[in-house]
Structure formats: C-alpha cells, structure tokens
Amino acid sequence: MNSMSTLANSLIRQGLRGAVGRTPMIRLGRVSEATGCEILAKAEYGNAGGSVKDRAALYLIADAVKRGQLKPGGTVVEGTAGNTGIGLAHLCNALGYKCVIFMPETQSKEKIDLLRVLGATVYPVPAVAYTDPNNYNHQAKRFAEGLENSVWTNQFDNTANRLAHYETTGPEIWEETEGRVDAVAFATGTGGTLAGVGTFLKERNPDVRTFLLDPEGSVLYNYFTHGELKRQGDGSITEGIGQGRVTQNLSGAPVDHALHITDAMAVEHTFRLLHEEGFFVGASSGINVAGAVQAARQMGPGHVIVTCLCDLGQRYYAKLFSRKFLESKNLLTAVPEDYRQWLH
C-alpha cells in the first residue's frame, strides 16, 4: 500500500460531503468559570458550508436520493431562513444538482447574497405565518411539485434532519466528553438538533438532561412548560430558530426543560463571545450560550453542559453588529458598555 492510500484512509476527508461533521469541541472559559460548570460548545461553523445546518442538508439530500425522489442533475428545493439553504447550495454544487431556495425577505442580505454567489436561485418572499398558503415553505413545496426530477427537502418535517444529529452530532458529543455530558442546550427551529442529539444521549445515559432554548415570539417555551401553543413575546431578531408549531422533527423529542431566552440575553452573550472569548458568531449562538449558562445555574456547579456555536457573524454583520439596528430594536443597552465602541 502506498503512502497516499494510507493518508486517504486515515487523514484526508473525501470531498465537501466528507467535510461535514467532526467539528471541534471547545471549552468556553469565561462562562465555565462564572458558573462552576464545564460549558462546552461544538464549533458548528467549522462544517464545510459554515453552519450546523450542513449536517441536516447532507442527510436531506441523501434521503431524497435513497427514496428515488432525486436523480442525477435534478433540483433541490427548500424553504429556509438561510443556513440550511446555504448548506444545500454547497452540496448541490459538489454533487451535481441545481438548488432553488425560498426564504423570508426579512432574513439578512448577507445570506441572500451568499446563496446567489453559490449558484442557487433565490426567491425572497413576504414573511407570513405557516398557516398562510404563501408561507415560504408552502411556496417551496408547490414549486418543487411543478418540476420534473426535483425534491422539496422539507427540513422541518423530514426526519432525515433529526437522523443527521442522532447519527453524527450526538455520538461526537458522547465521544468528545468521554460520556461525561450532563446536559445539552440548543435553540430550536426545525427541532432536528435537539431531538437527534437528545435521543442518542439518553439512550446512552437516561440522566442526561435536555434544555430547549426558545426565542421571543415562539410557542415552544409555553408548549413544553404549560402545554399550550402560545407565543411568548412579540418576535425576535434571531434568524432560523423559534416556531409556531411542533414539527415532525421535534415531535416526541425528549425535552426535559424549556427556557425562554430574550433577545437582550442573546445580544449580550453574542458580544461577550466576541470580545471575551474571541468568537465572531450569530445571535443563535448567543441564545445557545445564554441558555447553557441558565442550565448550568439551574443544575449547579460541577456539571458538563454542551451546546453549539451555530455559524459565524459575517452572515449578520449589517444588522446584529450595527448600532443603528440595535437602537431601532431597543437592544443597544444589551451590548456590554465596554464593547459598544466597536459597533459600526
């Protein structure tokens, strides 16, 4: 066997799809010291397409191929707030498919521009409720039904999404913590990450606790706390998380606790991650770390809490890191005073 064959088997990842998963696990020093717990985060921005959604995107395409819904040269269609679409667009380029994305026009310009650079056809549409037939998901479904050799990947209700995290993220967390993980805390949009990871870890240790982190304007906090689909708050600046219903990916998930995380909490921790830990990430990562801190305080010192850093801050630069935008949302004071000088 020559040396290159050996390297190919042990060190070299095979193409873009091989560069999804196996992200670093990082200890967050400041919040760990403040809580007396080990707060760890999977660096999901390290996936090939730059976000945690790459895992689901890979499994959604593989599921469509396995079912015979997608053949060579076909078209992948999805409704997404951005990151799943970005993951799909990267993978479509690598695997030889076309990509069409429907997304709410309220999402960041950076995401829309990036999708177009990646070669996706993008349809920004008005942001309306899921119950409205013009919701971006329904439009994506209708579009796919009108094309030959195309598939609507349906990230919210296609449980291949959940399977991705059951088969990859959960096992990675278990291995990297040597089975010492006490709790996981994840913001929830489709529900795939929390459901897949939670199910896997509880099969290994039923005492692992799962914390669902819910932003303002979502119903999941009230659903898992009080049993009613009632929105908590008016809406959030975060993108891609929060829900008005229980998706198929989230249905039956082992949720132990639900925490309501305000935009102010998310903004504070996003800027603390940048200026205290060095991580330039989006607000969903801020929600995750804020929730992990709450989980740590609820459980008490000495526990291992795992969350993830979902993506990088470049996708939100014009909004999240803008003084004008934060002032318009009454969130400027959520940025620690010492860090406001760097806002643009």
End-to-end CA distance of the chain: 56
* Alpha-carbon gap, residue 294 to 268, rounded angstroms: 14
Closest-CA residue to 245 (of 258, 259, 235, 231): 231
Name the token pair of 262. Answer: 């305000």
Residue 23 in tokens: 């992200």
> What values do phi and psi take at 25, rounded to 5?
-105, 125
Secondary element (H or E) of residue 182: none
Which residue in the block uniquely carries the two structure tokens 């873009």? Answer: 16
Single out the catalytic residue among 53, 98, 111, 319: 53
**Dihedral of the alpha carbons of 55, 230, 125, 285, in degrees to the nearest 10:** -40
Q: Amino acid identity, residue 195?
A: A
Q: Are 223 and 229 in contact (CB under 8 A)?
A: yes
Reply yes or no on whether 53 is catalytic.
Answer: yes
Contact 89, 108 (CB under 8 A): no
Position 189, amino acid: G
The 8-class DSSP code of residue 52 comes to T
Among residues 158, 159, 192, 189, the alpha carbon closest in space to that of 78 is found at 158
* Alpha carbon distances (Å) from 313 to 45, 62, 76, 320: 10, 29, 26, 8
Q: What is the CA radius of gyration of the chain?
A: 19
- Angle made by CA atoms 130, 56, 195, in degrees to the nearest 5: 75
Q: What are the tokens at 281?
A: 């990430």
Q: What residues are labeled active site?
A: 53
